[in-house]
Amino acid sequence: MEVKMERKIYATTIGGREVTVEVGAYCEQSNGSCLIRCGDTAVLTNVTMAATPRA
């Protein structure tokens, strides 16, 4: 079963700088992804998991 995540954008100000977090808009082959931006810096995280646990 495939679940499509809805794109969501969150924004806040930390230390006088705007920080934005975008969830669900990237890496459709992963189980989850998140893009975090602050100024000229961006961090992309992707998460995948197996259908069954590994020992």
Nearest Cα to 9, choosing from 39, 20, 42?
Answer: 20
Judge whether 2 lies within some domain.
no
Judge whether 52 lies within some domain.
no
Per-residue pLDDT of the chain (55 residues; tens, 9 = 90+): 566 668 899 999 999 999 999 998 777 778 888 999 999 999 999 999 888 988 7
* pLDDT score of 31: 84
pTM beyond 0.85: no
Judge whether 41 lies within some domain.
yes
Judge whether 1 lies within some domain.
no
Residue whose entry in the numeric block shows the structure tokens 């006088």:
16
| Burial class of residue 49 in the structure, from the number of CB atoms within 10 Å of its CB (0-12 exposed, 13-18 middle, 19+ buried) | exposed
Domain that holds residue 38: 8-47
Distance of CA 18 to the CA centre of its chain: 17
C-alpha 29/C-alpha 31 separation (Å) is 7
Q: Report the domain count for the chain.
A: 1
